[in-house]
Amino acid sequence: FNNRFKSQYAELQNQLLPGQRVLTYDIPRLWQDFTINPASYGLSVVDQPCLSRNIVCPHPNEYLFWDSLHPTTYIHHKLAILLRDVIRS
């Protein structure tokens, strides 16, 4: 996280009413971990998209990216589970 975000987050925390909370999650660090440790997330391809030239790869759940920009549905699901766990903690 950058310093500006940290200061804005601290300022926001001071403005919350009792019982309110703001949660953060370091998505860039998680994204880096997807690429450094793909097997721990069930991934095998992190540097190529599943969809290429209108041909879909045979195992989309093993890919980080659906196309050149968007994560696969599998990655969206992983993110949802991780963020759900942060909210519950």
Do you know the residue count of the chain? 89
1 pLDDT exceeds 60? no
Q: Which pLDDT score is estimated for 89?
A: 87
Q: Are 41 and 50 in contact (CB under 8 A)?
A: no
Q: For tokens 């998680």, what's the residue? A: 30
**Spatial separation of the C-alpha atoms in residues 14 and 28, rounded to whole Å:** 25
What's the whole-model pTM score?
Answer: 0.79
Q: Looking at residues 21-28, what average pLDDT do you find?
A: 87
Q: How does pLDDT run across 38-88, given as a tens digit for each residue? A: 999 999 999 999 999 999 999 999 999 999 999 999 999 999 999 999 999
Confidence of residue 16 (pLDDT cuts 50, 70, 90): confident
- Written as six digits, the tokens of 10 are 């601290």
Query: 56 forms bridges with which residues in the sheet?
Result: 51
